[in-house]
Amino acid sequence: MDYNLEKSVWTDLDFDVMGWHDCSIYKYQLIDGRLKFDVDYIFEWVNPAYTGMPYTFWIAPATWVFHGVTDFELDLKLSNDWRLEIDDVTRETNDGKIEWDIGTRQGYFHFNADGFTKFVREKPTLQYSQQIPFNQRVWLSLEERTLEESNMRLPDEVVAQRVTQNRLYELALSRHVLTDRLRSIQTEHD
């Protein structure tokens, strides 16, 4: 299973076609007017293949960089789970400044910025929750490199885990289909 990635660098010009709901933030840094986030970007929510099956998600690790950041405000209430989950991202132009709000379930980031660039660091993979399992994510990074530029490759055990997950999902789907077929046959004979 492969996802057809349109491009590996996205910018604020693409903002209207991007969605951020439920994307996870693992790391952030503000230095010299550049605000960087390490995120699991959800490219697509996939409807269940069959009734009773869960949603699946095409997700890739990405570095999201805002440029020309000023007037930065942060209000977060973190608990034991240090990962942040995005609810919504909005932008608004006031007095010639572009204001950005990143609302998370744990609080918010508010700032002005000229725009952003998102670097997709790996090919999207099919996941069975709204984030890449931490043991499969391999590294936290704020590198501004795309998957084509990166020399980092997933360890064999991570690739094997993903293959196993996909196979288990396929087996669960087959089970649902066969169970429904059996019910249908039983109904016909009753």
pLDDT (tens place) for every residue of the chain, 190 residues total = 788 999 999 999 999 999 999 999 999 999 999 999 999 999 999 998 777 788 999 999 999 999 999 999 999 988 776 779 999 999 999 998 999 999 999 999 999 999 999 999 989 999 988 998 887 786 778 888 887 776 666 678 877 877 888 787 788 778 777 877 888 888 888 7
Of 24, 100, 20, 38, which is closest to residue 68 (Cα–Cα)? 100
Q: What is the pTM of this model?
A: 0.82
Residue whose tokens read 């789970």: 81
Distance separating alpha carbons of residues 36 and 118, to the nearest angstrom? 9
